[in-house]
Chains A and B, each alone.
Chain A
Amino acid sequence: MTMHDFVIGGQWLFLTYFVGINLGYLLQNVIAAIGIRKYLQTAEQYEAENVFSSLDIPITIIVPAYNESASIITSIKALLQLEYPQFELVVVNDGSSDDTLERLIEAFDLREFPEAYRASIKTASVRCIYRSTKARNLRVVDKQNGGKADAINAGINASRFPLVCVVDADSILQSDSLGRVVRPFLEDPTTIAVGGTVRIANGCTVRLGFLEKVALPRNFLALIQVVEYLRAFLFGRMGWSPINGLLIISGAFGLFRKETLIEAGGFNPKAIGEDMELVLRLHRTMKEKGEPYRITFVPDPVCWTDAPEKLGDLSKQRVRWQHGLGEALAMNRSLIGNRDGGVVSWLAIPFYVFFELLGPIIEVLGYVFILICAWFGWLTFPEAFIFLGLAIGLGVLLSTSAIMLEELSFHMYPKFSQLLTLYSVAILENFGFRQLNSYWRFKGLVRWLVGAKHQWGSITRSTSLADQ
C-alpha cells in the first residue's frame, strides 16, 4: 500500500464515519420533530383540563444527598411544594461528612422513627429513619456511605408508593413536573420508566427553590452546555423514545415503576453511569421476561440543573460520563445482537457503541490524521480545510436543528438576542471546545478500559440553589 492509498483510505474512513454519525443524528432529529409535534398537540388539549383525579398514581420522590449542606433545605422546601395530589419525599443522607443531616433535623423537626424497614434491595447499613413533624410526607433515611446508587436503593426500600421519582438534591423542578412525567404511566400501563428534559439553570433566577425567570448564563462554558443539552434532550432522547429505543434517563430526574425497579435489582452501586446502566438493565429484564413495556421520554422542560462553569469541573464530568457509558454498555452486553432485542439490540446499542462510545477515538484520530497529512504535505491545505470544515459544519447543523426544535416547541428563551446568542455559541463551540470535549471523552474511554475506580462526584456549583 502506498502513502497515497493510505491517505485516500483514511479520508474515506473518516468521511464515511462523520457523514454516518451525522445522518444518524439527523434521522433522530426528524423522529424527534414528529414526536414533539404529536406530544404538543395532545398536551395542549390536556392542559385545559389538567385536573388531578383519583387515578393519578402516588409517587415517592427519592433525593440522595451527600454533603449537600449548602442547598438541601431550599431544595427540600421546594420539593414539598410540588403540585401533585399524593406524594412523599424520602431524603437519603448517604453518610455525609458535613452537617447535611443536622440541618435537615433542625429545619424539619425530624424525629427518629422505628420504621420496619424492608431491604428489598441490599444496601449499606441504614443507621436511622426520621420522620418530620412539620411535613407529614417527609422522611429522612440516614445511612452509611455507599455511593449515589446505594443511597437511591435505600430510598427505594423505604418508599411506600408504586412510582418512584429520583431527583438530584441540587435539581430545580417545575412545580407541575410530576403531573407531566406521570402522564405516560396513565396513558400506557406498560410504561416502566419516564425521563424528562433537563435544562441548564445557570443564569436563571431561582427563588425559594423554584425557577422565577429563565435566562441564558453569562459564563461561556455554561452557555455551550445550554446548546449541548438542547441537542442531547430534544433530539438525542426524543429521537429514540417513539421507537422505544431510549437508553438513558437522566440521573437528575426520572420516574420509575418501583416493582420493575426492584425486580431488576435497583441501581447498581458499582456503576459510574448508574442512570444509563439502570435503563439498559430494565430493557434487559423486560426482554428476558418477554413482556411488553415502554420506556418513554417527555420533552417538557421539567428539571433545571446547575452546569459546571469551570473547565476542571467540566472535564471531570465528561470523563465520568464516558467512563460510565463504556461500563454500562459492557455490563449489559448480552443485549447486543439479542435475537428478541428489537430496536434496542439492533439499532440503539450499536449506534451508542459505534458513535457515542468509540466516537472520541475516531474524532481525535481524525483531527490528528488531517493535521499530520497537512503537515507532511500529503493533503493540500485547501483539502485539509475542507475536511475540518465538514466536521465543524456538521456540528453547527446539528446544533441549528436542535435550536429549531426548541423554537418549534417550548420557546424557553423568548428574546431575539437570546436566539442569536444560541446560534453564535453553536458555531463557536466547534472551535476548541468540541475538540477538548473529544479529548475528555477519549480520556474517559481509556479510564474505563484500564478499569479506573470512581466515587461521588463533587463539582463547584453556581450559587443558584444555595439556601435562601
Chain B
Amino acid sequence: MELLFQSEFNTVTKFALWTITGVIVTTVVLFFYTVGLRFATNTERKRRKCFLEKWRDVFAAAALSRDAALLLELPRLVESEHAHLLEEWNLARSIVFGDAADNLIVLAGRIGIAEIAGELLEMHRVQSKIVAVQTFGHLGDKQRFDDVHALLDDLNTALSITAATSLVEIRANRGIEIVVPMIAKRRDWPRNRVSILLREAGSDLISEPMYRNIRSASDDDKKYLMQFARLMESEVRDALVEELIRETEDPGLLTSALKLVSGYRGVPRIVALTQHKAWFVRMQAAKVLGRIGQREHLGLLESLLEDTEWWVRYRAAQAITSLPFLGPNELRQMQQRQKDRFAIDILQHSFAEVGLL
C-alpha cells in the first residue's frame, strides 16, 4: 500500500487514490457503526423486555387494588431504567381512570416517580423532557405547573403540545385559559392532538374561552379555530356560528360556520348564501337547507340543481331527497319536470343512492 502511494502517479491519479482511501475508511467505519448499532439495539430490547417482565405485573396489580399499590414489594430499580419506568407508568396511567388512576398515583409516590421525572426534566435530551412533562401531567403535580408552563413555548412541537396537555391535566381551568389562546399561534401542533386535548378537558370548560378567542381572532385564525368549535357546548357554539354567519363575508369562514349550523337560527342569511359567488359556500348552504327541511326552501333547492358546480347540484339533490315531506312519487315528478340535463342526472344519482330507482 505504501508503495502504491509513493509511485509515480500523476496528480489526478494520486487524488483518486487518496479519495478511494477515504471512501474505504468511511465505509468500514460506517459498517462497524451499523453493526454496533444492531448490537446496542438488541441489548436495549433485551433489557427493556426484562424490565417489563418485572414491572408490568406491579402496575397491573397496583391499578386493581389500593392495598397492592401501598404494600406490594417493588422490584429493584437501577438508574438506567428510569426512562423506561416513566414511559411504562405513563402508558399504564393513560389507559385507566378513577380509582385505578388514583392507585397508580399512590404507587408513583412509593417509587418516587415525581423525583425521577424532575431529574429527567433537567436532561438535555428532548425525549427525556417529554416523558417528564407527561408524567407531571398524569400525576397532576401542581408544584410543577410553572415548569411545565415554561415549556409551552418550546420550538419542539412534541414537547410543546405535551406541555399543553399536561398543563390542562394539572390545573384544568387555568391550563385551558393558557392553552386556548396558543392554539391559533401554534399551527405546528397536530390538530388531532389539540382535538383530543380539548375533548378531554370537556365542553363545559372549553366553551367560554374558545368563544372569546374565536370572537377576538383575525379571520385567518378564526377559520383555524373553527375546526375545534364542534367540541364546544351546543348553545355557545350555535350563538357563535350565528354571529359569524351574520358578520363575515370570508368564504372560508362562512363554510366553517355553515358546517356547524345545527338549529334554525339565521335562516334568512343562509338562504341568501345559496347565491354566494364561492361554490363551496353555496354547497354548504344547500346542505344546511336540506337539514332544516322546510317546504318554503324547496324551490330554492330545486334551482340549485342547475348550478354550474357539481358539488352544489349534488348537495342540493341530496337535500331534496332527504326532505321528510316528499315521497317517492313527488320526487319522481320533480325529476320529470326538470329541463336541465345536469339536474335530471344528479337527481337520478341521488335517488339511486337511497334506493329509489
Contact = CB atoms under 8 A, between A and B. Distances in A.
B72 to A, nearest CB: 25
A159 B15 CA distance: 58
By secondary structure, the A interface counts as helix
A390 to B, nearest CB: 5
A118 B4 contact: no
Contacts of A383: 9, 13
Given A44-B127, A54-B195, A55-B227, A116 B19 contact: no
A331 interface: no
B313 interface: yes
B297 interface: no
A393 B24 contact: yes
A53 B192 contact: yes
A188 B191 CA distance: 9
Nearest to B91: A48
B357 A114 contact: yes
A186 B161 CA distance: 14
B94 A393 contact: no
B233 to A, nearest CB: 16
Contacts of B38: 407, 416, 419
Contact of A401 (B30, B195, B357): B30
A330 interface: no
Nearest to B350: A116
Given A41-B127, A41-B158, A116-B314, A8 B10 contact: yes
Contacts of A394: 23
B7 A54 contact: no
Q: Which of B94, B195, B199 has the most chain A CB atoms inside 10 A of its CB?
A: B195
Contact of B31 (A12, A48, A113, A423): A423
A387 interface: yes
Interface residues of A, number: 49
A188 B188 CA distance: 7
Contact of B191 (A12, A19, A55, A416): A55
Given A49-B193, A114-B348, A419-B38, A42 B157 contact: yes
Contacts of B195: 53-55
B194 to A, nearest CB: 8
A411 B44 CA distance: 14
Contacts of A53: 191-192, 195-196, 199
A46 B193 contact: yes
Interface string A391-424: 0011011001101100110010000100100010
A116 B34 contact: no
Q: Which of B23, B187, B310 has the most chain A CB atoms inside 10 A of its CB?
A: B23
B126 interface: yes
A116 B357 contact: no
A187 interface: yes
Nearest to A399: B27
A316 interface: no
A215 B190 CA distance: 34
Interface string A27-64: 00000000000000110111011011111100000000
Contacts of B158: 41-42, 45-46
A148 B26 CA distance: 43
Interface in B14-38: 15-17, 19-20, 23-24, 26-27, 30-31, 33-35, 37-38
B20 A390 contact: yes
A386 interface: yes
Contacts, number: 121
B345 interface: yes
A183 interface: yes
A260 B327 CA distance: 40
Contacts of A116: 310, 313-314, 342, 345-346, 348-349
A382 interface: yes
B130 interface: yes
B162 interface: yes
A393 B191 contact: no
Nearest to A157: B310
B41 interface: yes
Interface string B161-198: 01000000000000000000000000110111101100
A397 B313 contact: no
A389 interface: yes
Contact of A51 (B7, B196, B314): B196
Q: Which of A8, A187, A416 has the most chain B CB atoms inside 10 A of its CB?
A: A187
Contacts of A19: 19
A118 B310 CA distance: 7
A244 interface: no
A464 B34 CA distance: 30
A115 interface: yes
A461 B160 CA distance: 47
B82 interface: no
Q: Which of B9, B20, B342 has the most chain A CB atoms inside 10 A of its CB?
A: B20
A367 to B, nearest CB: 15
Nearest to A10: B12
Interface string A1-33: 000000010011001000100000000000000
A118 B199 CA distance: 38
B15 A15 contact: yes
A11 B17 CA distance: 12
Contacts of A44: 127
A401 B195 CA distance: 39
B27 A183 contact: no
B230 interface: yes
B19 A46 contact: no
B352 interface: yes
Given A55-B191, A115-B349, A116-B310, A393 B27 contact: yes
Nearest to B231: A54
18 contacts: A44-B127, A45-B162, A48-B90, A49-B94, A54-B230, A55-B195, A113-B352, A114-B349, A116-B346, A120-B310, A187-B188, A187-B190, A188-B187, A382-B7, A390-B19, A393-B24, A407-B34, A407-B38
Interface of B: 4, 7, 9-10, 12-13, 15-17, 19-20, 23-24, 26-27, 30-31, 33-35, 37-38, 41, 90-91, 94, 126-127, 130, 157-158, 162, 187-188, 190-193, 195-196, 199, 227, 230, 310, 313-314, 342, 345-346, 348-349, 352, 357
Name the 9 nearest CB pairs between A and B, nearest first: A116-B349, A118-B310, A53-B192, A393-B23, A116-B345, A45-B158, A53-B195, A11-B12, A390-B20
Interface of A: 8, 11-12, 15, 19, 41-42, 44-46, 48-49, 51-56, 113-116, 118, 120, 183, 186-189, 382-383, 386-387, 389-390, 393-394, 396-397, 400-401, 403-404, 407-408, 411, 416, 419, 423
Given A55-B191, A116-B314, 20 more contacts: A15-B12, A42-B157, A45-B158, A46-B190, A46-B193, A55-B195, A113-B352, A114-B345, A114-B352, A116-B342, A116-B346, A188-B188, A189-B187, A386-B13, A387-B13, A393-B20, A397-B30, A407-B37, A419-B35, A419-B38
